Amino acid sequence: MQNEKLKEMKECFIEKFGETGEIRSYFAPGRVNLIGEHTDYNGGHVFPCALTIGTYMLARKREDSKLRFYSMNFEKIGVVESSLDELNPKQDENWTAYPKGVMWTFQQKGHAIDNGFDILLYGNIPNGSGLSSSASVELVTGVMLRDMFGYNDLTNIDLSLYGQYSENNYNGVNCGIMDQFAIAMGKKEHAIFLDTNSLTYQYAPVKLEDAEIVIACSNKKRGLGDSKYNERREECETALAEIQKVKNVPNLGALTSEEFEEVKDAIKNPVRQKHARHAVYENERTVRAVTLLLNNEIEAFGRLMNESHTSLRDDYEVTGIELDTLVEQAWKCEGVIGSRMTGAGFGGCTVSIVKTEAIDNFIKTVGEAYEKKIGYKADFYVVNIGDGPQRLE
Ligand code: GLA
Are residues 188 and 324 in contact, defined by beta-carbon separation less than 8 angstroms?
Answer: no
344 lines ligand 1 (CB under 6 A): yes
Are residues 116 and 66 in contact, defined by beta-carbon separation less than 8 angstroms?
Answer: yes
Q: What average pLDDT does the segment 81-88 reach? A: 94
d(CA 226, CA 166): 17
Q: What is the pLDDT of residue 191?
A: 98
CA of 46 to the centre of ligand 1 (A): 10
CA of 155 to the centre of ligand 1 (A): 22
Q: What is the pLDDT of residue 257?
A: 98
Residue 237: pLDDT over 80: yes
Q: What is the pLDDT of residue 222?
A: 65
Out of 37, 39, 177, 178, mutate this one to test ligand 1's pocket (max ligand atoms within 8 Å of CB): namely: 178
What sign does the dihedral 163-185-152-390 (CA atoms) show? negative
Instruction: Pick 274 or 128 by higher pLDDT.
Output: 274
69 lines ligand 1 (CB under 6 A): no
Single pTM value for the model:
0.97
Q: What average pLDDT does the segment 261-283 reach? A: 98
Q: What is the pLDDT of residue 3?
A: 87
Q: What average pLDDT does the segment 19-25 reach? A: 95
- For residue 41, which atom of ligand 1 is closest to its CA? 10
Residue 19: pLDDT over 90: yes
138 lines ligand 1 (CB under 6 A): no
Residues 6+ away with beta carbon under 8 Å from 220:
320, 322, 323, 346, 347, 348, 374
37 lines ligand 1 (CB under 6 A): yes
Q: Which residues are catalytic?
A: 179
Residues in the chain: 393
CA of 55 to the centre of ligand 1 (A): 19
Using alpha carbons, select from 171, 313, 316 the residue that is nearest to residue 252.
316
d(CA 120, CA 122): 7
- For residue 176, which atom of ligand 1 is closest to its CA? 9
CA of 11 to the centre of ligand 1 (A): 35
337 lines ligand 1 (CB under 6 A): no
- What would you report as the CA-atom Rg of the chain, rounded to the nearest whole angstrom? 21
CA of 141 to the centre of ligand 1 (A): 20
Residue nearest to atom 9 of ligand 1 (CA): 176
Q: What average pLDDT does the segment 309-328 reach? A: 97
Share of the chain above pLDDT 70, in %: 98
CA of 311 to the centre of ligand 1 (A): 16
> Residue 192, SS3?
strand
38 lines ligand 1 (CB under 6 A): yes
- Find the helix packing angle between 270-294 and 229-244, rounded to 10°: 100
- Looking at beta carbons, which pairs linking 106-115 to residues 24 or more positions away fall under 8 Å? 106/142, 106/145, 106/151, 106/162, 108/165, 108/169, 109/162, 109/165, 111/145, 111/149, 111/151, 111/154, 112/149, 113/84, 113/145, 113/149, 114/65, 114/84, 115/61, 115/62, 115/63, 115/64, 115/65, 115/148
CA 172 to centroid of chain Cα atoms: 16
176 lines ligand 1 (CB under 6 A): yes
What DSSP character marks residue 22? -
343 lines ligand 1 (CB under 6 A): yes
Residue 225: pLDDT over 60: no
d(CA 124, CA 243): 43
Q: What is the pLDDT of residue 1?
A: 62
Instruction: Pick 206 or 90 by higher pLDDT.
Output: 206
pLDDT band at 325 (very low <50, low <70, confident <90, very high): very high
Residue 223: pLDDT over 70: no
